Every structure is written in C-alpha cells, then in structure tokens.
Amino acid sequence: MLNQLKDVHEEVRATIKGLAEVLADANPDTQALSRIRMKLTRATGKWRTFVQCTVLPELTQVTPDQARLLAEMRSEAAEFAITKSTHISRWSTRVTEGDIAGYRRASADMRSALLARLDREAAILYPLLKDKAAGPRVLPQSGSPAHPA
C-alpha cells in the first residue's frame, strides 16, 4: 500500500510539474492547458479517493498522537477540497484565457498548496504504512536471550 501511495503522490507531482511547464510558455497553448488541468483534476481525485477509501480505513491501530494527526489530515483534506473546487470554479477556461497572468498567479498558489499537502501527508502516512507493512512488533520477554532478567 505504501508503494501505491507513493505512486499516486508521484503522479500528482508530475502533473503539477506539467502544468507549470505549460504555464511557463509566454503564450500557453489553451488546448494543452485544458488537457493538463483536466489531468491534474483526475490525478488529485484519484489521490483523494485512494487515501480516503483505501489507506485511512487500514490505519486503525494507531497511537492517540497518530490518531490526532490523521484527524487533522482528514480535516485539512476536506477544507482543501473546498479550496480546490473554488479555484476550479473561479478559473474556467474562458476566464483563464482572458486573464492568463492572474491564472498563473492563482495556479502557482494552488500548486504550492498541493505540494505542501503532499509533503505533509507523506510525512504522516509513509511511516504509518511502513510500520503496518512490517507487522506487529513482538517484544522480547524478560529472561529471553534478547532481554535477560
């Protein structure tokens, strides 16, 4: 599951990079811009679905501090979904074509926020998934060779 999450994260990062590359052109191709925006929307949807429906339901055996971090992450994801939806609604293709400079600024902010969310999520989930994959830890009992009495 950890490798799948890393793959999903990498897909989103690569698509963010692709959007930045399209926007680096002085006069971005509007069709290329529409395609990469749609690709990013699909990639972020896949990311959110994978985390919400696959990853988080598997993380049931966590410490109270880890549970708090997961709850914060869920809350941040919900808030970010609203921010993302507002951004997409605000920057329709027509509006974007009419104000490419404004869209560049708004897109840079949104891309930065997406990358920050990916980093935070990775910092929380990667260690938890790595621990889960390692299986339960068996502590040596007193008097065993690993833990002499």
Position 139, amino acid: L
More confident residue, 149 or 62: 62
pLDDT tens per residue, range 11-35 = 999 999 999 999 999 999 999 999 9
Query: Is pLDDT of 126 > 80?
Result: yes
Q: State what percent of residues in the chain have pLDDT above 90.
A: 83
Query: Is pLDDT of 133 > 80?
Result: no
Averaged over 66-94, what is the pLDDT? 93
Query: Is pLDDT of 142 > 60?
Result: no
Mean pLDDT of all residues belonging to the chain: 90
Q: How far apart are alpha carbons 46 and 40 in whole angstroms?
A: 10
Burial of 94 (0-12, 13-18, 19+ CB in 10 A): exposed
Three-class SS state of 91: coil
Distance, CA of 132 to chain centre: 20
Q: How far apart are alpha carbons 33 and 22 in whole angstroms?
A: 6
Reported pTM? 0.84
Q: State what percent of residues in the chain have pLDDT above 70.
A: 90
pLDDT band per the 50, 70, 90 thresholds, residue 5: very high
